[in-house]
Structure 1
Amino acid sequence: MKRNLPFIIIAAVLGAALLMAWYFKRSTAETPATTAASSTSSPAQMPDSPDAGADPPHALGPADARVTLEEFGDFECPPCGLLHPILKTLEGEFGPRIRIIFREFPLVPNHQHALAAARAAEAAGLQGKFWEMHDLIYENQKTWHEAFDVRPIFEGYATKIGLDFERFKRDISSDVVQQRIFLDGKRAHSLGVKGTPTVFLNGREVPFESLMVPDKLREIINTELASHP
């Protein structure tokens, strides 16, 4: 959750990723941390030379869009789940004028299934269906969040969106998937990201309270568009 969670240590994320093959054989039953979210009062400027993150990034919209929204998200984070339909609505409203990028930032170990969800989405991405898996995971967040074993749930999503099932099962614990999550985590830390959801609009961090109110976020986008005719 935003601002109330400890810094994610990249080494811990990488170490957890190396254990995912085991994880998908036997899920654990840890209890995720649940504390209240707080907010940021003013936008922060992106550092001059942040890490690049996974390349190519998962993006909706043209590379030359006048506004780019870069989200660092955790699939198990409740505020991220609330932001998901807001961004989908704004994507439809603004069309090619905006670009939305999603970066993986699973809050390990506070969210016990976040890394598994990130790996499922990245594995789907290797078959060109990241956004289909991304949407299913967020839209069904409560269902799998409460599950003991998420493996059959995510495998069911893979079947539903028409993935090569055997490849999906191989890719989910692959080095390629692991590296993409790791690189997004490095970028997050280079930008000073402390929690999720964190969104940068053309390199400036959007205040958390503005993210969760569609009209406020819409106003920020319109202001940016007006300044870049």
Structure 2
Amino acid sequence: MAEEENLTKKEKRELRRQERNVESDRRQKMRVYKRVMVWAVAVFVVAGSIFGIFWLLGSPGGERVFVGAVLQDDQIKGNSDAGTTIIEYSDFQCQACAAYYPIIKRLAEEYGDSAIFVYRHFPLRQIHPNAELAAQASESAARQGKFWEMHDMLFENQQIWSNQRNPEETFIGYASAIGLDVEKFKSDLASEEVENKVDRDYNSAISAGINATPTFIFNGEKIQTPRTYEQFRTLIEQSVGSDR
């Protein structure tokens, strides 16, 4: 301020003008910076939202895989003539599969007229020692027309049998509970035909590069697994709607 006192009035006015210009430039730069930041955040949010939708619902352009056509001895629910097909590769001892069980069951009930739901076995033998026998138990029940009853029983009681050293007697008890001919069930459980059916499903998963459960094949594409019923329902609704 001491130096300013020695300036003439004209010089002081010029100094004030320069200070105002500097302040004006600073404010203008701040406004531009803020606008750039707002747009950057907006672009980030939109991009993140789009990515999130595709991640949660599964990209429509997902990885196409060949897992074989739906066969007569596949375990299916729904309309076999429908244009929407959901193939689930699952493991009865898998906790994540058990978590998806009520979701898929509800979807099959809701969209049974307009979609086909296929269950295929992919027992993770190295980490789930009882999964293969559970798969064979369900296929043995299928030979008496009660695959889905055994399927439900296995998932709903997973915590009981999954840690048993040998759950065969438990599975025989389930067979009795759902009204099967127990002797026939025991015979089928030990049969090569049932073992081969589970192996066929397993090998089709390996050939398709599947390495985790549950894995869902939606109209021929391996999708990012939806996390909730609502997300799965949206995916199905989009497919069913396009068929109408």
Alignment-mate amino acid for residue 65 of structure 2: M
Displacement of 1:219 after TM fit?
0.6
- Letter of the 1:145 partner, please give it: S
Q: Which amino acid in structure 2 is aligned with residue 95 of structure 1?
A: G
| Aligned partner of 1:121 among 118, 132, 138 | 138
Percent identity over paired residues: 36
Q: Report the CA distance shift for 1:113/1:54 in structure 2 as closer, same or farther (over 3 A).
A: farther
Supply the AA of the counterpart residue of 1:213.
Answer: T
SS at match of 1:110: coil
The answer to whether residue 149 in structure 2 is matched with residue 132 in structure 1 is yes
Rounded to whole Å, the distance in 2 between the matches of 1:164 and 1:129 is 11
Deviation at 1:53, TM superposition (A): 7.6
User: 1:49-60 maps to which residues of 2 (within 5 A)?
Assistant: 50-51=67-68, 55-60=72-77
**Residue matched to 1:188:** 205
Distance 1:41 1:91 in 2: 19
Distance 2:195 2:104 in 1: 26
Q: Count residues with an aligned counterpart.
A: 187
Give the deviation of 1:127 after TM superposition.
1.1
Structure 1 equivalent of residue 235 of structure 2: 220
Shift in Å, 1:115 = 0.7
Match of 1:163 in 2: 180
| Correspondences of 1:134-153 after superposition (within 5 Å) | 134-153=151-170
Instruction: Provide the rounded CA distance (Å) in 2 between the counterparts of 1:79 and 1:168.
Output: 28
TM-score (norm 2): 0.72
Post-superposition offset of 1:124? 0.6
Higher RCO (CA < 8 A, seq sep 6+): 1
In the alignment, which residue of structure 2 is the partner of 1:44?
Answer: 63
Counterpart Cα distance in 1 of 2:224 and 2:106:
19
Residues in 2 aligned to 1:40 and 1:116: alpha-carbon distance in whole angstroms: 33
Say whether the 8 Å CA contact 2:79–2:113 is kept in structure 1: yes
- How far apart are the structure 2 equivalents of 1:150 and 1:138? 14
Aligned to 2:126: 109
* Kept after mapping to 1: 8 A contact 2:57/2:232: no
Pair 1:61-2:100 in alignment:
no
